[in-house]
Each structure stands twice: as C-alpha cells, then as structure tokens.
Chain A
Amino acid sequence: MSDASLQPDGPGRRALLWLRETPIIALIVLLVALVALLEYLSPGIVNERWIGNTVKFAIPLAMLAACQTLTMYTGGIDLSAAAVATITGFVMATLVPHFGQGWGIFIALVPAVLIGLLNGFGVAICRVHPLIMTLGSGLIGIGCLQVYQRYTIATGSEVAPVLEWLGTGRTRSVPNALFLFVPFAAFVFFVQNRTGFGRMLYAAGANERAARLSGLRPWQLYFALYVLVALIAGVTGLLYAGIIRTTSLSLADPLLLPSVAAAVIGGTSIFGGRGSYAGTIVGALILTVLGTLLTLLQMPEGARRIIFGGIILLVTAIYVRLTDNG
C-alpha cells in the first residue's frame, strides 16, 4: 500500500484496518447497494411484501450454508447437505400420511443422522478428505432415496401442514420461517462463540496438530460435527419442503452450491479456523437479492449464470485482499 492516504496513521489506513476487523460492514454495504440498485431499476419493488419474500427464500439457504460454515471452521466442507435436505423432505412427505405429523417429521430425520454418522466415520476415523467423503455419501443417499421412492410411489405423499405453515405462512407480514430461523441462528451463534465445542472447531481448523497437542481428540470432534451438520441439513430440508409445498428427488439440489458460495462470500475461510455465521447470513441475503436482480434484468439464462459466478468470484477476491493483505 504505497498510496499517500494510506500512511500508517492516516485516516484511510485506519478505515481500512477497521474494515478488516469488521468485514461484515462491507458485506452489509454491498447488500444495501444491491437493494438500492434493485429499487433504482424497478421503482417500488422494494416493499414489505418483497422483503418478506426475500427473507423467506434466504432462510433455507442460510440454514444450509450453516452446514458449510461449521464444517469450514475445521477446514472441511459438506457436499452431502443438499442430498440430506432432499432426503429428509421427501421421506417426511411420504411418512406424514401414515404416522401423522410428529412421528413423520421425527422419523424423517433418521436418514439424516445416518448419513451424518457415515460422514463422521469417514472423516474422523478413516481421515478421508471431507470433500470426497460427503460427495460420496450424498451420492449414496440420493441413490437410496431413488430406490425408496419406487416403493412409496403409490402411497401418496403430503407435506406436513405445520411445515407449510412455517414455510409459507405470515404473521403480520413477517414470514413464519423466522420463528424457526431466529432460534436456529441463536443456537449457531451460541455454539460457535460460547461453547467449548465451537472453540474446538476453530482450533482444529487453525492448526489441528496444535489442537491435538492441547488435548483435543479430533475424531470425537469430527464425529459430533458431521452428525450435527447433517441434522441441520435435515431440518433445512423439512423447512424447504414447507416453502415449496411439494417434494421431489432434487428438492434442495439448487441450493448446494449457493450454500457454499454464501459461506465463502460471508468471509468464512475454506481452509479453516476463521469466519462467523453472521457473515454467512448476510451472504445468503446477498445471493438471494442478486438472484432477484438478475431475474429482473431479463437476461438470457446463460448470461445470468455468468454474472452470478463472476460476482461470487469478485466478492471473495476483494474479501481475501481486504482481510489478508496487510
């Protein structure tokens, strides 16, 4: 930084340092700028209803991105999250007509836990790279779901009404999904900031050897982490089925890569040890607003994808510069 305004004690330098310390400010500024651009392009679009819809669709993305965020703290990633969400949503819809809402939802989370255990076993015991392990387990899970579907195709399916209420309903124009998301986000913040488990996640990601020498047992941590993350993905699938009001074999697939992107844009390092769920939430909102913006511009699908990818790359590149280059 040879710029004159960026002298050690200059105001520019201090502003830069402050930005580096609190990168979430930059993200919020970006989010506001995107919303302003949207309002400029199509005056009057930003109203109560639009905000409610944006929040509603950002919530499942933010929840699925929690899976990516938590695993990224340890330098991992969870590519089976979308598969787990799809399976849970689908199984729930097929079980509800037989067992009622409560049991249907409860039993539907069993496959999620099973996949979590499989991931945990692979990552913790066999030390397989999480990327590969979760890729494989997601593939296995979807295969099992396809077989399962053939046996239940005649029995009919129904999304639990309580989930539809949660997914599509509004209470005084506030989407009901927030009733699930606010406690959920509070839980994630509590876990990452206030529990030993959360600290261990950061520690294992920053330097696993040092963490081990300080008495951490990585295998226990990874096992717990991947089961927890699979449960989160399962709950996301339940909510998403409620929002979409139907289930399919590729229910949550379109959310997988955006969930990784949301975590990365939110400033979570994919190498582990750094990040916060707050950034991820803003990242999910940015991606949702960006999606609306690109739809509004009425560009061909191809151009939209190019811009989407380009912006993810640009934001992360700026972010890395901002936080690393000192």
Chain B
Amino acid sequence: MRRFLARHYWVTGLAVLFVLMLGLTRIIQPGFGISGLESVTRAALPYAFATAAMSITIIAGGIELSVASMMAVGGTLSAVLMAKWGVAGTVPALLVVMLAGAAMGAVNGVAVVLSRVPDIVVTLAMMYVWGGVALLILNGPGGTATPWLRELILGQVPLPGLRWLPQAALVMAVVIGGIWWSLRRSKLGLSIYAIGSDQTAAFRSGVAVGPTRVAAYAIGGMLAALGGLSLTLSTGVGEPIPGPYLMASVAAAVLGGVALTGGIGGILGPVIAVFILRLARLDLTLMSVDPNVTTIVEGTIMAVVVMIGGLVALREKRR
C-alpha cells in the first residue's frame, strides 16, 4: 500500500480531489446525483479524448497543437458520412473516421520526422491545415448522427448493479482505456516512453525513433478523431469550427501529471483531471457565478497547479 502510494501519489491525490469535488457539488446542489453525474460525464467525453491524444504525444516527447482541428475533421467527417450512408453504413463510417484520424496523426508525425522542424511548429502549421480540411468537409454546422450511436453515450448502463454508471463513462473506459492498456502492454508503448524520456538513449537501445514517433502521433490523431465523433454524437451535428480543446487538453494533461519534457505520465491522471476541471466549471455555474469569472478561476487553477508542480520538481532536483 505504501509503495503504491509512493509510486502513484499524484494520481491518488487527484482521485481524492475528484471525490472531494463530487462531495462539494453535492453540498452546493443537494439534487446532484446519478443524472448530474451522467451529464458531467457526457460533457467530459470529448475533453477526455482530446486529453488522451495530447497526453500520448507529450509522453512521446512532442506536443499536438492541431488536436482541436483534427477533432473538427473527425466530427464533420462522421456527421457527413452518417448522413450519407444512413443507419446501415454507420459502422463503416466509424471505421473510416478512425482511419482518417490515424492518417491525419501519421501525416503530422511524418512531417515532424522528415522536416526536422520542432513538433510545436509543425503541429501549429497543421492546425491551420486540418482546420481548413474541416471547413472543406462542411462549411457550416451540418450532417447528422445515427440515433443508436447517440444513445450509446446517453443515460446509464442498463445492467443490474451498474445503473448508476453513465454510459459515456463506460465508452470512455472501454475505448481510451482499451487503447491505452494494449499500448502499455506492447513494445510500441515502451518505445514511446523511451523516445520521450531520452531520444538518444532510446536510439542506442535499438528503438526505431522515427516510426515510433509517427505511431504515437497516429494514435493521437485517432483519439482526436474519436473525440470529434463523440462531439458530433452529443450535439447531433458536425461542427467545422474547432472548439476550445487545445488549451483544455494541455491543462488537463499537465494537471494529470504528464511532464511536458516527455516520457513521464499515464492516462488515468489526465482523465481524472478532465473530470476535476469539468466539475469545477459545474460547481461555479451552480453557485451562479458569472461564467466569465469561471474562466478566470479555471485559468487560475491551471496556473497555480503548474506553478506548484514546477516548485515541487525544482525541490526534488535540488535534493
């Protein structure tokens, strides 16, 4: 138990904070229960995908500034395909969206590897490119979402004993958790952590740095496209203008314990961080705080967290 805490103190702390936030929400709004949890989870779903995409690229030693634009592509593409192919073509549409996401991420990764331009600049440029692609797919909000797919992230799990659990949480756990779990168990996952923490050392240990990097970006792109899909599912239309997911995903990844220097972090922390940030927003809204003040509070939380994180890191270095 002690060793577990020593190793996972950050995630444990986040989980405690999350529970405290749930309690706080309950105090502010005594009616907050299963349905409240469900709406928070549904709102958090796109953020969770964006954060997972951001986390994996940061862990691989890069950063993905085009995450929101790729989500817009995923969202518009899925809406258009579902409108065109109908209910019968939903599953192929899903596959196409996932493939398109992986392809977008792979293009980013190849551009980073081949051009030797820093990740931050490449993905900044790709932010325009993918944003433009989304606008070419749909010039304004449009398309539809298949009803049964929409119901997949709506309501609670219809199984005895799990009726409190939001379906969106289950989707999140299965998709993000599944991708992450298989990654952590594979050689590729290990290689991603290796190139993130020390590229030269990884290269000398026989890791194919370039392909690993492309793979990390491709997985990130796929997660981003799925995030866009989940957005389309929750609103019912495809939206070509990228949402505020870039800032939010960086904030959640950092709050979740992913080091910007690469090689350090997991997925559980960032996902819990997404929930904490969403709950903070909800609490402030419930306290009928001006939504603009909410933005200030969110920014302050983010700044204070990273400052404390920086001071802690500095102290450990001095020791």
Contacts and interface: CB of A to CB of B under 8 A. Distances in A.
B126 A264 contact: no
A137 B306 CA distance: 12
A307 B297 CA distance: 37
Interface stretch (B142-150, B164-172, B231-239, B288-296): B288-296
Q: Is the interface of B mostly helix, strand, loop or mixed?
A: helix
Interface string A294-325: 00000011111111111011001100110010
B207 interface: no
Interface in B218-256: 247, 250-251, 254
Contacts of B295: 139-140, 142-143, 146
User: Which of A126, A303, A320 has most B Cβ within 10 Å?
Assistant: A126
Contacts of A308: 128, 132
Given A137-B299, A143-B299, 6 more contacts: A136-B306, A261-B125, A302-B135, A309-B126, A309-B128, A324-B116
A129 B253 CA distance: 14
Interface string B295-319: 1111110110011111101100000
B129 interface: yes
A30 interface: no
Interface in B72-127: 111, 114-118, 120-122, 124-127
A305 B135 contact: yes
Nearest to A260: B124
User: Which of B121, B300, B313 has most A Cβ within 10 Å?
Assistant: B121
A304 B116 contact: no
B306 A303 contact: no
A135 interface: yes
B133 interface: yes
B134 interface: yes
Contact of A264 (B121, B133, B260, B306): B121
A207 to B, nearest CB: 17
A302 B133 contact: yes
B250 A312 contact: no
A144 interface: yes
Nearest to A305: B132
B140 to A, nearest CB: 11
B131 interface: yes
User: Which of B111, B122, B124, B134 has most A Cβ within 10 Å?
Assistant: B124
17 contacts: A129-B260, A132-B254, A132-B302, A133-B307, A139-B302, A143-B294, A143-B295, A144-B296, A261-B124, A270-B120, A302-B136, A303-B132, A305-B128, A307-B132, A309-B125, A313-B111, A317-B111
Contacts of A150: 290, 292
A132 B125 CA distance: 19
A131 interface: yes
Nearest to B297: A143
A304 B132 contact: yes
B169 to A, nearest CB: 27
Interface of B: 63, 111, 114-118, 120-122, 124-129, 131-137, 139, 247, 250-251, 254, 260, 290, 292-300, 302-303, 306-311, 313-314
B120 to A, nearest CB: 6
A143 B132 CA distance: 28
Contacts of A118: 303
A321 B115 CA distance: 8
A174 to B, nearest CB: 32
A301 B241 CA distance: 12
Given A128-B310, A131-B260, A140 B129 contact: no
B116 A320 contact: yes
B250 A132 contact: yes
A187 interface: no
Contacts of B111: 313, 317
Interface string A77-99: 10000000000000000000000
Contacts of B132: 301-309
A312 B125 contact: yes
A140 B260 contact: no
B126 A313 contact: yes
Interface in A93-127: 118, 121-122, 126-127
Contacts of A309: 125-129, 131-132
A305 B129 contact: yes
A320 B115 contact: yes
Contact of B135 (A301, A316, A317): A301
Contacts of B121: 260, 264, 270, 312-313, 316
A140 B313 contact: no
A305 B131 contact: yes
A13 to B, nearest CB: 21
A257 B136 contact: no
Contacts of A128: 303, 306-307, 309-310
A21 B296 CA distance: 46
A304 B314 CA distance: 44
A264 B139 CA distance: 30
User: Which of B126, B127, B131, B310 has most A Cβ within 10 Å?
Assistant: B310
Interface in A182-211: none
Contact of A143 (B133, B136, B293): B293
Given A143-B296, A271-B118, A317-B116, A133 B125 contact: no
A147 interface: yes
Given A146-B295, A306-B129, A135 B250 contact: yes
B128 A306 contact: yes
Given A126-B307, A270-B121, A310-B125, A300 B300 contact: no
Contact of B310 (A126, A135, A306): A126
Nearest to B292: A146
User: Which of A127, A271, A307 has most B Cβ within 10 Å?
Assistant: A127
Contacts of B302: 132, 135-136, 139
Nearest to B132: A305
